[in-house]
């Protein structure tokens, strides 16, 4: 994921923030965080190789929505 570049790190950051928020609200355990932020959950669905800044903002929103709906 990190070597792919693109919007991968933006997606990972958004997934991590959602997971930490869920942990802080006692909705998931600490050990669930890595399971939730696993790129296999979303990378193929939302990856863009050469994103624009608008694409990065959209990726952030997409991942937050996806993580909130599916996990």
How many structural domains does the chain have? 1
Residue 6 confidence class, pLDDT cut points 50, 70, 90: very high
The confidence score (pLDDT) of residue 69 equals: 84
Residues 58 and 35: their CA atoms lie apart, in Å, by 23
Q: Where are the alpha helices (DSSP H) in the chain?
A: 8-24, 33-37, 43-46, 53-70
Look up residue 18 and give its two tokens. Answer: 């959602």
Tell me, yes or no, whether 54 lies in a domain.
Answer: yes
The confidence score (pLDDT) of residue 3 equals: 67
Tell me, yes or no, whether 32 lies in a domain.
Answer: yes
Residue 8 CB-density burial (10 A; 0-12 exposed, 13-18 middle, 19+ buried):
buried
- CATH code where residue 30 lies: 1.10.1740.10
Tell me, yes or no, whether 1 lies in a domain.
Answer: no
The Cα-based distances of 70 to 20, 53, 63 in angstroms read: 15, 26, 10
The confidence score (pLDDT) of residue 61 equals: 95
């Amino acid at each position: 994921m990190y070597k792919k570049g693109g919007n991968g790190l933006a997606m990972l950051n958004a997934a991590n923030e959602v997971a930490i928020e869920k942990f802080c609200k006692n909705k998931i355990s600490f050990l669930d965080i890595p399971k939730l932020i696993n790129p296999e959950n979303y990378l193929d669905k939302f990856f863009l190789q050469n994103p624009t800044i608008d694409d990065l903002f959209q990726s952030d929103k997409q991942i937050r929505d996806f993580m909130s709906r599916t996990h």
